[in-house]
Amino acid sequence: MGGASSRDQSAEASNTSLFSEDELKNLKSNFESGGVEKVTPLIQKKVNDLDNIELNIAVTGEAGTGKSSFINAMRGLQSEDKGAAKVDNKETTVEPTEYKHPSLPNVILWDLPGIGTVKFPANKYLKEMKFKKYDFFIIISHPRFTENDVKLAQEIKRLGKKFYFVRPKIDTDLDAVKRERREFKEEEELENIRSYCITSLQEAGISSPQVFLISKFDLHLYDFDRLSKVLEDDLPSLKRSVYILALPNLTLEIVEKKKKELKKRVWMLASLSGVLGAVPVPGVSLGCDIGILIGGIVHFRKCLGLDDASLRRLAKKAGKPVEELKAVVKGPMVGEITPDIINRLAWGATAVVVSGFELVLDHVPVVGSIFGAGSSFLMTYKLLSGALDDLTENARRVVKAAFGTDENDPK
């Protein structure tokens, strides 16, 4: 009994973490007082919230430090790509400029004008940048953090916002050191640079500064994974989910994180399919909403970087022909999703949909117990779960084909 209870609690936390504790209590009480009809609007609102929530990331610092390169890398773009931020050693930004994520336009990176220029001296800058609109700040500096960076951090802190210091171009710095010294230990040199940055910021009045060393060319190297984990921990749950889904597919670990986030949507979409005027799939006695199924699969595919535009960007980043990445993508989930494809998938699922009842309850003990009796819920849950598994496996193969490594393989 104890083991089963622990398993259920773990599954519940995994699948319902987009809901607060109060929201989960509200779901239960509404079901008890009004049944499925009273719960459905609450789940629909949560799905809408996920689709519409914005994440605004401010990237700031002095001119020529690598802000534009960082913004492009976070969006999986290179400087010559359409929509990329212009890379220049001179200050080219004269006002806050938004750069939307190419696949998830609600994720916006803002290139703020460099602090400390003639046009934007520090005091004027702090007043005019409208800091309150941003969720967090990345302060870019190279080769060292300056007095203006410290003033900027102190103002951000005063406003109650999070900020993180990033020193980019670390690979270029390491190459320069390597050429100068006969004996070179990369980890030791990285720690020396990191310690120097932290000490300098502490001496300037920043307590417990968080400093991350980032590559200009390979975002996933050095401290990027550590920066990403810190951001995930600091962001509220809905924005954390959006941030993870917007990450470029640079490692297998990122793919696995995305799957975990998308899995949280499966039971919500299945719940809606079970009660919102289910449209029967031709030839199948069990009903499910085709629009919800198709929309869910297309969204999963986009977040996992399997749409054509994402594959082209990744191929360019990896220096591989896009045909080489497309060659490892297999199965019906990567083509056009039509009612006919859903019909064929549903035929394969009908034999296991009844036996899947316990599986559903194991994975979603709170809401599964509410909707589990409905065949539409079970059918949609089964189809979406299978589609997500299939797409995740394709995304893993693409990352391996792009970068030729099993590093960070969670399997």
Are 61 and 190 contained in the same domain?
A: yes
CB 190 within 8 A of CB 170: yes
Are 346 and 258 contained in the same domain?
A: yes
Q: What is the pLDDT of residues 85-122, one digit of tens each?
A: 888 766 656 788 999 999 999 999 999 887 766 677 76
Sheet holding 107-111, edge to edge: 97-100, 107-111, 55-61, 136-140, 162-167, 211-213
Are 239 and 272 contained in the same domain?
A: no
Q: Is 411 domain-assigned?
A: no
Are 226 and 259 contained in the same domain?
A: no
Q: Is 42 domain-assigned?
A: no
Q: What is the pLDDT of residues 347-397, one digit of tens each?
A: 555 444 444 444 444 444 445 444 444 566 777 888 898 899 999 999 999
Supply the CATH number for residue 166's domain. Answer: 3.40.50.300
pLDDT over 70, % of the chain: 79
The token duo for 359 is 């599986």
CB 302 within 8 A of CB 390: no
CB 151 within 8 A of CB 126: yes
Q: Where does the pLDDT of residue 19 fall: very low under 50, low under 70, confident under 90, or very high at 90 and above?
A: confident
Number of domains present in the structure of the chain: 2
Q: Is 410 domain-assigned?
A: no
Q: In whole angstroms, what is the distance from residue 189 CA to residue 369 CA?
A: 55
Domain holding 271, by residue range, is 2-34+251-403
The token duo for 107 is 């994720």
Angle subtended at Cα 234 by Cα 107 and Cα 113, rounded to the nearest 5 degrees: 50
Q: Is 46 domain-assigned?
A: no
